[in-house]
A and B are shown apart, each in its own frame.
Chain A
């Protein structure tokens, strides 16, 4: 700052105008402004920067970039530091920036044409890294290294990478024959099928085609057979008698067909970039490339026993929110581009979880990393796609990017990272390029909304959670008018349920008045005055409420943190009065006490938690005394916070931590009786699902931690408890789903909503049965045999 402010000597400081302004100076005047010190970064640093920035700019030409970097590497062949950093960086880039793999490979290929001796240590490095990753079960890394090697196929001796793929296939066969539920074999076949196109793009030849055909003949049996676990992870849960839209979309099944399709057309692979292909004016370089030295690929041997790795594997289904449109805005599932582009984007998204901004940038720039002409110009409005000429691509890069993120949000059983990561990627993408991304998101949202009835219930909930979180980052702006007709649907209709759930979640992240302000008139009635009230009324303040006197007295005692001895007499009074009225004394006193706790702690969660902390012995005793009292604790919290279920859920979560209520009690409360809503209406409420889902996740999460920690004591009891919990849910939900629930049988109650309730029951059932299967699988794999 100081330097900058220094006046120029003789710069005419007295001449009445600010002499620092360039425009006041003659052109030939010597510019004395201090210049930033010129500093040339050392060569390795510069090369690192160039390599990392490869292909990022649509303004630079691929072959020029590739050649210039390769030239420096070849020239600096004696520079030890440069070579080391190159050798370190290439494998790292392959893993961390998967979209750039073909470009890094192109650099290596040009280096090979100039200084072939650089290649051998690099190939050795990649080969041994691949082995290491295979040993650890890090199959994505293996896939990425193989993809890189596939791009180098033209400089490999003999059949190059094919023998490695053959070896992978042999493993896959062994695994699949051993068990029909095997998932590693499926994963290996996926890797093979995703590597083949890169080999054929890098080294098209009759021999490659021949080898690929042989390999594909073999993979066909595994790839075309639907996997045993596929039904479990289908994102759709269609009604009986209708087929899931993705019934035939197993990823490897599609890949197999897409590759066969390519093969029969002579492998055009038109979406893949070929930065190793020089333009006509570079004919000399092209010749050098064609005649460059070939290298033997060091052996890559697979471990004797292959493992799943840190994450359980599942077969994959190709999911898209844009595939059912009348105009193609994403590659159709018949085209290899759909799988290849999706694969590269997914790896980018999941690898770069530590910087969502960079992930979003990659997604926005996706068109930079594929062959020119693969996509239509960025931010082309969807309506304009109809006017495209027949030959040109109508694939919107932003649709393809958004689709990839949605496929992760909707991945069952769970995606690799926390869901909020994928939320944050969409938020950033929307921030970087709102005009391009927002309309694409809009169409995705519409698709999800219209299909919510046949989406797996867990995914419906995920959608709700994402949708509202997303809106909270963009001023809660949404075109609610489009769904205005659905406001009058019964609350149990899936669309109405989604609207109600969304408004509740929006309010939780903001406040009722603010959200009301974003809604068109017909929605206003959905947010009642009770939601605008920060602290709900204390029912005992009303004289007519039974035990009003005792309720107020208890609240006063709790407020001044009176010792338990002063509380007990009031409780005793309630007990005796209840006995006189022939109602359950403990349930009655528990209701008064817990409601008073809620009221006294209504100022904030900290307040109520502190109050629970002070009274936890009494609450523990009450909860332990009877099932009815346990349920009453939950009822009291839920009733008090009925307008703000989010707060109630947070409180219940803490009560579970204190073991004041049990997971079983929460499940019972929500699913068995009428307490969460009459006649099965509870099942349609998003917050009830949230409550139950969180409770189950808490139980299973804890058990997993215990099992992984190697603790054996008491584990069996916990396992039994978990199984019982799932059993309880299964019983309760089955009777809803089958319509045998008493409430459903009651002719007075059912007013045509019966089918809706049954359907909700089915959807719930599927979610928790899947959960149960997955937990059992986890136990199976991780538990030492007793």
Chain B
């Protein structure tokens, strides 16, 4: 009787718009799923009514995408927290594509769909390693998705961030490399300067 009826308060175990909107828009078979944390202007196409999908791939999902982890958070920490919702079948840490170091996300796979839903309800939005983490239902891990999709190997969101996030490598990587170039240029200019005055 209660199935299918809208609840009088929102549910926290509903998947975010991310998966569906992506799938409806362009059928890109790309890996990873980051960019979600920093997705901008990516929400405008949800209205277009797609054809009735044959079956919701998240209906029995047992996997969760976990985002906003610190780069320093270990598997053991993830285990300790996420086991509170049920035994973990598999844990895949998200890695920097080039350096193969943690880059701030992971996939947690449970044995049952219910455990995954409970994790959405009870753990998503709480803290791990003193950061608020986010969870999203995921159709399942596939090889290759453990790597960041950003230009420099990490997650897309860490490419253009303009805040300083100590747990995620400080400033955004684009800004970092720009600053690096700037300081290099400045150093060159400075040396010329010093040479001119015969200080060297």
Contacts and interface: CB of A to CB of B under 8 A. Distances in A.
Interface of A: 52, 88-89, 92-93, 96-97, 129, 132, 352-358, 417-421, 423-424, 427, 465, 469, 472-473, 475, 505, 508-510, 604-606, 644, 646-647, 650, 653, 698
Closest 10 CB pairs of A and B: A420-B84, A508-B80, A354-B11, A424-B122, A604-B75, A358-B9, A473-B127, A420-B122, A96-B8, A605-B75
A509 B85 contact: no
A96 B122 contact: no
Contacts, number: 99
Contact of A604 (B10, B74, B85, B129): B74
B51 interface: no
A420 B122 CA distance: 6
Nearest to B93: A606
B6 to A, nearest CB: 9
B126 interface: yes
Contact of B121 (A89, A353, A510): A353
A52 B10 CA distance: 12
Contacts of B29: none
Contacts of A93: 8
B56 interface: no
Most buried by B among A92, A97, A354, A427: A354
Nearest to A100: B8
Given A132-B1, A418-B118, A421-B118, A510 B9 contact: no
A418 B8 CA distance: 22
Contact of A355 (B10, B93, B130): B10
A353 B85 CA distance: 13
B7 A354 contact: yes
Most buried by A among B5, B121, B122: B122
A714 to B, nearest CB: 20
A421 B75 contact: no
Given A93-B8, A417-B118, A424-B126, 17 more contacts: A92-B7, A97-B8, A354-B13, A355-B9, A418-B85, A418-B118, A420-B85, A420-B123, A423-B122, A475-B130, A508-B76, A508-B77, A509-B81, A605-B91, A606-B91, A646-B79, A646-B80
A421 B123 CA distance: 8
A120 B29 CA distance: 56
12 contacts: A92-B7, A96-B8, A418-B122, A472-B130, A508-B80, A509-B128, A510-B77, A604-B75, A605-B91, A606-B91, A646-B76, A650-B83
A129 B93 CA distance: 48
A465 to B, nearest CB: 8
B182 interface: no
A79 B6 CA distance: 21
Interface of B: 1, 5, 7-13, 74-77, 79-81, 83-87, 91-93, 118, 121-123, 126-130
B87 A653 contact: yes
Contacts of A353: 121
Which secondary structure dominates where chain A touches chain B? helix
A421 B121 contact: yes
Nearest to A422: B122
Nearest to B14: A354
A636 B1 CA distance: 54
A605 B121 contact: no
A420 B75 CA distance: 20
A92 B84 contact: no
Most buried by A among B79, B85, B123, B129: B79
Nearest to B112: A705
Contacts of A647: 76
Contacts of B130: 472, 475, 510
B99 to A, nearest CB: 15
A646 B79 CA distance: 9
Contacts of B75: 604-606
Most buried by A among B7, B9, B13, B128: B9
Contacts of B84: 418-420, 423, 465, 469
Most buried by A among B5, B93, B128, B130: B130
Contacts of A357: 12
Contacts of B1: 129, 132
B91 A356 contact: no
Contacts of A505: 80
Contacts of A650: 76, 79, 83
B76 A605 contact: yes
A356 B122 contact: yes
A605 B8 CA distance: 42
Contacts of B91: 605-606
